[in-house]
Amino acid sequence: MARLLALTLVALAVSRPAAAQNAAGGLAAPESAAAAPRVAKAAVRGGPSLDSARAISAPGALLPAHRIVAFYGNPFSKRMGVLGALPPGEMLRKLEAIAAEWQAADSTTTVQPALHLIATVAQHSPGRDGMYRLRMSDATIGMVASWAETRGWLLFLDVQVGRSSVRRELERFRPWLMQPWVHLALDPEFAMEADGVPGRKIGSLDAADVNYAVGFLQEIVRAGNLPPKMLVVHRFTNRMLTNAAQVTLVPEVQVIIDMDGFGAPSLKRATWRQVIVPEPVQYTGFKLFFNPRNDAPMMKPADVLKLEPVPHYIQYQ
């Protein structure tokens, strides 16, 4: 079963289309965003943006007092990220070591390790229901969840909807999200329109999709009397998240916009300035790639901590 899944998953793990590579590297042509910059000049050095300051989080919120350091991927693919690229024991030890590096780089912010599992994986082929996505089984999610839970770490469930929808995909994760240490992520890159095929073009989600996820998490938090959830939204072009200014902020959910473009440090900083700084929404994240073909060289914690607004979510692929 693992071999069959690995063959299915690997198709989307090789590379982004050329347009995505350019955008991820910070070379994308400027886009005419509909929304004016919201808080670019109001970001607080070393702290949350003005938006996060306005959104009063409920008790138990991890941000901004913590920085999440996460390993991303899927255990059935060595090419989708470090989570599956290494044997589990080696991968977990590596995350512990890197989390310690981040703690040493910023002693004022508590580092919280996490595993970021791609739990719904976009596909090149339509599948039986024509939705161009593959859902991981509860057994697979449970395996990765056990790695996190036994260490007191967090688990993020990442959703690549393909031709499905955020609304259609989230309900199956409700039992997992009822755990206080499990959080959610959305990847607009693989959210397709009716005729789109994941991997051939860059997808997009609207603020309405994000707001549905926010409401879904808010309901779970209130019903279970849980600490606030985190919602990660990947973004390396402006069009990946339309109407970002309309994302709803509520005390029960902390929204993180994660810049997941790759390239040389100068190009990653350019993407950050173009995509994240004008619309941080609430909290910000930054992705780093171990593969030197993606990040050459990979930025060190001290380099990332110089970004403004300062990222509170760090993801390694």
Q: What angle do CA 148, 143, 191 make, to 5 degrees?
A: 90
Give the rounded percent of residues in the chain with a pLDDT score beyond 70.
83
Q: What is the pLDDT of residue 56?
A: 73
Residues in the chain: 317
CATH number at residue 102: 3.20.20
pLDDT band at 58 (very low <50, low <70, confident <90, very high): confident
pLDDT band at 110 (very low <50, low <70, confident <90, very high): very high
Residue type for 179, please?
Answer: Q
Quote the CA–CA distance of 40 and 280 in Å, as a whole number. 8
Tokens of 38: 């919201």
The CA–CA distances, whole Å, from 229 to 29, 60, 94, 221 equal 34, 10, 26, 7
Contact (Cβ atoms closer than 8 angstroms) between residue 235 and residue 204: no
20 falls within a domain: no
Is the pLDDT assigned to residue 196 strictly greater than 90?
yes
Name which of 51-60, 69-78, 149-158 the model is least confident about: 51-60
Q: Which residue segment(s) compose the domain that 120 sits in?
A: 2-10+49-316
Q: What is the pLDDT of residue 216?
A: 99
Max intra-chain CA distance, the chain: 51
33 falls within a domain: no
Q: What is the pLDDT of residue 54?
A: 55
83 falls within a domain: yes
Contact (Cβ atoms closer than 8 angstroms) between residue 64 and residue 47: yes
Indicate if the alpha-carbon torsion angle 241, 275, 183, 176 is positive or negative.
positive
Name the burial class of residue 90, with classes exposed (0-12), middle (13-18) and buried (19+) by CB atoms within 10 angstroms of its CB.
exposed
36 falls within a domain: no
The mean pLDDT of 101-107, rounded to a whole number, is: 98
Q: What is the pLDDT of residue 32?
A: 29
Residues β-bridged to residue 217: none
309 falls within a domain: yes
Q: What is the number of structural domains in the chain?
A: 1
Q: What is the DSSP annotation of 65-132?
A: TEEEEEEEEBTTBSSS-HHHHS-HHHHHHHHHHHHHHHHHH-TTSEEEEEEEEEEEEE-SS-TTTT--
25 falls within a domain: no
85 falls within a domain: yes
30 falls within a domain: no
